[in-house]
Chain A
Amino acid sequence: MPVSEEETEFEIEPDARAVLQALARRKNVIITGPPGTGKSRLLNQVRALFEWDSGSTGSDPYGDIPLPAERGPIPAWFPSPDQIESRHTFPTVFDQNTKYRDFMRGLVPQVTNPGAFIVTSGTLYRASVHAAEDGNAALVIVDEINRGPAVAAFGSALVGLESDKRRGAEGEQRFEILNDFGESVTYSLPPDLYVLGAMNEADTSVEPLDVAFLRRFAPYRLEPHAEVLRPHLGLGRTPDGTLPDTPSDPSTVYEALARAWARVNHQITLARGAAYQLGHGALMHRTAPTADLPAAQEYTQEAWATLRGHLDEVFYGDTRAMVDLLLAEDDRSPYTLEEGTFAGQAVSRILGPTRPDSEQLYLLLRLISQE
């Protein structure tokens, strides 16, 4: 029997809890956020929790079940908490070539039988069939949902996606699909089917999703969090004190990095919007060495390369913005601004190291963070 929220002992992180609650209410959720804010990590957490796959073995020598599943019963606030026989997730990734037949149903040539066709069973359809069984629930996870033609991939299933359009609901919305014999039949999506998408809406290489599609999903937004990055770098939760002229230990270098990252994100938000920021995860590419200054400097250089690459992408062709971000007009910056004329027009470019050494980088980060 499902248990109430108060009775659930198992610790569930707030983001995962919020997404699961949104799935329970709306059935369809899209996680959005800048790169490096933990979308993939959250998807994995939600996937494991949704399946409630009894992650560990407990111990109760005098109980009826001496080695019980540690997590216990499914919390009552979960999506389909009473469906406990088989809870599966169906992960997929959209790309530019994703078709309705890959996600729902369609006809494709049968390789072993020239001239013949077979009806495909795409990810959403298979999940739907699974969820229709008594005791089952299914979660379709679509990463990079905006990297493919999402509206076309969902196709007619879009009309039956919302919770009040599901099978058995008063407003059940049926739509046509092919059955296994290639005949058109009407179909509706079962109530224990859930769809979780993830995307970076500021990705410069994809088209935005249309509003009619998006309103069928509950949005859940992730933001860059300094309070996640700072402990990873061995720093206190909030910045403290001023940075010295030269770094004395790893924490000084990391402090400069964390502050500069926060400052740069602030400027990106002003110039392009919050969706274009760089998440904390992008600077957590490996364990940060906290005992050795040269190792910390090397780590910081790697992190800066990521941050600089992101800036180049977001402000591509906008030299003026990069001048401000790299403080190229400040004498203390390793970067300088070269201005001139070309073909009768004023032109400018930034001069400076492609990969600043650790000393140059610390001075730059310190300078950015003080702006």
Chain B
Amino acid sequence: MTQQPKPDPLILVYKELTDRELKKLQAISNITQSGGGARDLRVPAKTFRSAMHRIFTTTKTASNGKTIRTAQVSYRNGNDVGTTELEYWPPTDSRPREDRVARVHASPALGGRLPASNRGRVFVLFIRWSNGEVGCYYAYENDLRRRGVWGPEVRDAILGCMTDTDLKNANRAGNKVSVQGYIDFTNGEVFCHASV
């Protein structure tokens, strides 16, 4: 049997799951103001849309008439590979500057599991591969900080963004930004939202 060559990553978008978002994912939130879309993963529309549209490439009209983007996300299902659809939605009226990935928590894209709670800060990663597949993953701070676990490009980008974001938040009383950014492997661009 010939082994398929492993695909290269084309673009990777990462976003930290804050404590609040983790609670939402675990559906234990008692934060009443979190709203109905609490379990959606939100990203700043202006800076992330072009990157996210390279991952969510299919255009579709949702049941409410809105035009959304979708991606078939591949995931391991035992010894098989399954696919599931994830949706990328434009902003709502109440949050006009945020796009969102809908219902990640309910999707098998992340292996149907909640993130571990004992491996440091948690990130969700979306990766578009050169073979056309899209993957969705968890990444943990403890793994990122250990040498020889994550590839240096990913490790450096996320840890660097974490530092920049923490510095930015240290000077803010409220409205903290989360660690989020992307790596464009096709041209080497590394974007961290806190650096804007």
Question: Interface of A with B (CB < 8 Å)?
Answer: 52-62, 64-74, 84-85, 87
Contacts and interface: CB of A to CB of B under 8 A. Distances in A.
22 contacts: A52-B147, A53-B147, A53-B152, A54-B155, A56-B152, A58-B6, A58-B151, A59-B6, A59-B8, A59-B129, A61-B127, A61-B133, A61-B135, A62-B76, A65-B139, A66-B135, A66-B137, A67-B9, A69-B147, A69-B149, A74-B148, A87-B147
**B contact residues, range:** 20 to 34
Nearest to B136: A66
B6 A60 contact: yes
Contacts of B153: 57, 67
A68 B151 contact: yes
B7 interface: yes
B85 interface: no
B129 A54 contact: no
A57 B135 contact: no
A65 B146 CA distance: 12
A61 B74 contact: yes
A69 B151 contact: yes
Interface of B: 6-9, 12, 74-76, 81, 125, 127, 129, 133, 135, 137, 139, 143, 146-155
Contacts of B76: 62
Contact of B150 (A59, A68, A85): A68
Nearest to A71: B148
B148 A54 contact: yes
Given A61-B6, A67-B150, A84-B148, 19 more contacts: A54-B150, A54-B151, A56-B152, A59-B7, A59-B129, A61-B74, A61-B129, A66-B135, A67-B12, A67-B154, A68-B150, A68-B151, A69-B149, A69-B152, A69-B155, A71-B148, A84-B146, A84-B147, A87-B147
Contacts of B75: 62
Given A57-B154, A67-B9, A62 B148 contact: no
A64 to B, nearest CB: 8
B151 A70 contact: yes
A233 to B, nearest CB: 35
- Identify the 9 closest CB pairs spanning chains A and B, nearest first: A57-B151, A59-B6, A67-B151, A62-B76, A69-B148, A57-B153, A54-B152, A67-B154, A54-B148
Nearest to B111: A64
A130 to B, nearest CB: 15
Contact of A65 (B7, B81, B133, B143): B143
Contact of A54 (B12, B139, B143, B147): B147
A324 B153 CA distance: 57
Nearest to A51: B147
A268 B9 CA distance: 54
A57 B6 contact: no
A58 B125 CA distance: 16
A69 B150 contact: yes
Most B CB within 10 A of own CB, among A53, A56, A60, A68:
A68
Most B CB within 10 A of own CB, among A53, A55, A57, A85:
A57
Nearest to A68: B151
Given A65-B143, A66-B135, A73 B127 contact: no
Nearest to B9: A67
A62 B152 contact: no
A64 B154 CA distance: 14
Contacts of B147: 52-54, 69, 84-85, 87
B148 A66 contact: no
A66 B149 CA distance: 10
Contacts of A57: 9, 151-154
A52 B152 CA distance: 11
B120 to A, nearest CB: 14
A52 B148 contact: yes
Nearest to A74: B148
Contacts of A74: 148
A218 B139 CA distance: 42
Contacts of B9: 57, 59, 66-67
Most B CB within 10 A of own CB, among A64, A73, A85:
A64
Contact of B125 (A55, A56, A66, A84): A66
A73 B7 contact: no
Nearest to A58: B151
A58 B81 CA distance: 20
A65 B135 contact: no
A83 to B, nearest CB: 10
Contacts of A67: 9, 12, 127, 150-151, 153-154
